[in-house]
Amino acid sequence: MKNIRNFCIIAHIDHGKSTLADRLLEFTKTVGVKEMQNQVLDDMELERERGITIKSHAIQMDYEQNGEKYTLNLIDTPGHVDFSYEVSRSIAACEGALLVVDATQGVQAQTISNLYMAIDNGLEIIPVINKIDMESAHPDEVEDEIVDLLGCDPEEIIRVSARTGEGVPKVLEAIVERIPAPTGDPDAALQALIFDSVFNPFRGIIVYFKIENGSIHKGDLVKFVNTGKQYNADEIGVLKLQMAPREVLTTGTVGYIISGIKTSAEVRVGDTITHVATPCEKAIEGFQEVKPMVFAGVYPIDPEDFENLRTSLEKLQLNDASLTFTPESSVALGFGFRCGFLGLLHMEIVQERLSREFNMEVITTVPNVSYKVYDKKGEMTEVHNPAGLPDPTLIEHIEEPYIRASIITQSEFMGPIITLCLGKRGELVKQDYISGNRMELTFDIPLGEIVIDFYDKLKSISKGYASFDYYISEFRDSKLIKMDILLNGQPVDALSSLIHVDNAVTLGRRMCEKLKELIPRQQYDIAIQAAIGAKIIARETVKQVRKDVTAKCYGGDVSRKRKLLEKQKAGKKRMKQIGTVQVPQKAFLAVLKLD
């Protein structure tokens, strides 16, 4: 056990985590020359296309130093704020972390956020400055930033270039020397933490775990503490580039178990595995539950695919524990699910994965956050969907979630960023200079305001230099109202939204104008209206497509033309009564990007 090292790589997005992982695998000869490619651990097509890590990836490496053999278990983590839950799960299975900082960009928001998460879990931190081979690198300044942040000695910081491999051997030496071996009792009852799982259509659900105490043999009868279900360990093993079966796994090892589990409800991330014959006294504690930030309705395009969508979401949830969903129905879209996501990128990725991995084409409604609604009796209900809002006469007040946002940027972009945040009803809490011309701005902003296009705007006004991180701080009383969109007097519940009273009229007008462009013309006029209760605040009309019925009248009395027009008018009226207006999927998405 003293020769095992469990560590993860944490960093801000695009600071070179996956490239450093590639070099570590190359130096330890875990991956052969033929199998080597960029982002070797990112096995999802989507990850390669976008150049981002979406899933944490665990892999075991064998390494020899001073004649002793060591087993290194590496977990490569995502860097985007929307996948921070993946990072928290990886940290729970490690004793140490490589904190990678880009020599050209310095310390950024997600660097700090992931670092604090690792420190809270008591991990040993090894600071690494990456990309020192770049012309625009300024490693000395970045070193000062890390020293200020960690309070470590400059000698402890390792300078590497993950692209060329320079400095990577020093990283491997530091992992062995600085990261502690796992602590645990090999003779105690089995206690293993589940930190991930994946669905395999042939073998059922494969569960990834880290053994805290005890050991597990192939064929043992084990149970999952929280669900109470019992299984035979048909196959156990460690995670190389492919799964490598083993007869026994001991304390401190990261591995997998296959036991023919078919239903996703039986596997929960954060659960504990133990033996049925000699169970452990209590489950492993301290694993945080996921808190969805953004909610949106997901509906199948064909209503008959509802059950297929449920199965697809369950399988996806195994591989992405931060996704939550509950069934709901909508007048406009039929049956579907209200899904909880960690952010807009997460929502986009889930939609893309449903399409690619399960061939499920879905319609996603306007995303919104959860609100606390207090009625006149003082009772509180959580509302994730504007359609679930009680009658306005019964509501005492509504509270909305506020976030504490940390934005790290260069001082030249400070003015536009403050203007953007204040325009989103934000309040400036403090501003600090980190080093040189880089500063950290801290804001309190309503989560509902940043859900849609805040991150895109922040990146464009800062030319990509601002980094952004946030956490939910509190719920505050707000003047929120429900705005409905009516098509020919019928409300479309999927387009309803809860918004602040000050923004209602401008947003209502913009939504009507956008829908006018996107809804196809019919044989009759379509009235698009934005309404708050019974009050109409904006209106646009999609003009009807008309045939010129008077074209054949080339003379004679005007009453002939009038008679034909009256007949046409009566037909249009009948059509309007029985016609339904189809809202295209583009319209739901366009509401997100109104600017």
Task: Express each pLDDT in 250-261 by its tens digit.
Answer: 888 888 888 888
pLDDT at 26 over 60: yes
In angstroms, the Cα distances linking 414 to 343, 408, 418, 437, 457 are 24, 10, 6, 11, 14
Task: Give the 3-state secondary structure of residue 565.
Answer: helix
Tokens 């539950």, located at residue: 289
> Which amino acid type is present at position 323?
L
Quote the pLDDT of residue 586. Answer: 66
Asked if 318 contacts 302 with a C-beta cutoff of 8 angstroms, the reply is no
What pLDDT digit, counting tens, does each position of 319-341 carry?
A: 777 788 888 877 667 788 888 88
Quote the pLDDT of residue 106. Answer: 81
The residues near 217 (Cβ < 8 Å, ≥ 6 apart) are 233, 236, 247, 248
In angstroms, the Cα distances linking 14 to 77, 79, 146, 342, 417 are 12, 7, 18, 19, 22
- Provide mean pLDDT across the span 493-512: 82
- Provide mean pLDDT across the span 404-433: 86
**Which carries the bigger pLDDT value, residue 46 or residue 272?**
272
Burial class (CB in 10 A: 0-12, 13-18, 19+), 38: exposed
- Residue 342 phi, psi (nearest 5): -85, -10
Quote the pLDDT of residue 67. Answer: 81
In angstroms, the Cα distances linking 534 to 40, 48, 267, 392 are 58, 50, 48, 11
What pLDDT digit, counting tens, does each position of 50-106 carry?
A: 667 766 777 888 888 888 888 888 877 776 666 767 777 777 778 888 888 888 888
494 pLDDT band (50/70/90 cuts)? confident
CA angle 544/549/555 to nearest 5° reads: 140
34 pLDDT band (50/70/90 cuts)? low
The residue among 152, 135, 134, 154 whose CA lies nearest residue 143 is: 154
Q: What is the DSSP string of 27-96?
A: HTT-S-TTT--TTTT--SHHHHHHT---S-EEEEEEEEETTEEEEEEEEE---SGGGHHHHHHHHHT-SE
Quote the pLDDT of residue 353. Answer: 85
**Residues paired with 71 in a beta bridge:** 4, 62
The residues near 457 (Cβ < 8 Å, ≥ 6 apart) are 420, 595
Asked if 98 contacts 20 with a C-beta cutoff of 8 angstroms, the reply is yes
Quote the pLDDT of residue 584. Answer: 67
Quote the pLDDT of residue 591. Answer: 64
Mean pLDDT, the chain, whole residue set? 80
What pLDDT digit, counting tens, does each position of 433-478 carry?
A: 876 677 888 999 888 887 767 777 887 787 766 777 777 788 888 8
Say which range, 289-293, 367-371, 422-426, has the weakest mean pLDDT.
289-293
DSSP 584: P
Asked if 532 contacts 486 with a C-beta cutoff of 8 angstroms, the reply is no
- Provide mean pLDDT across the span 388-404: 83
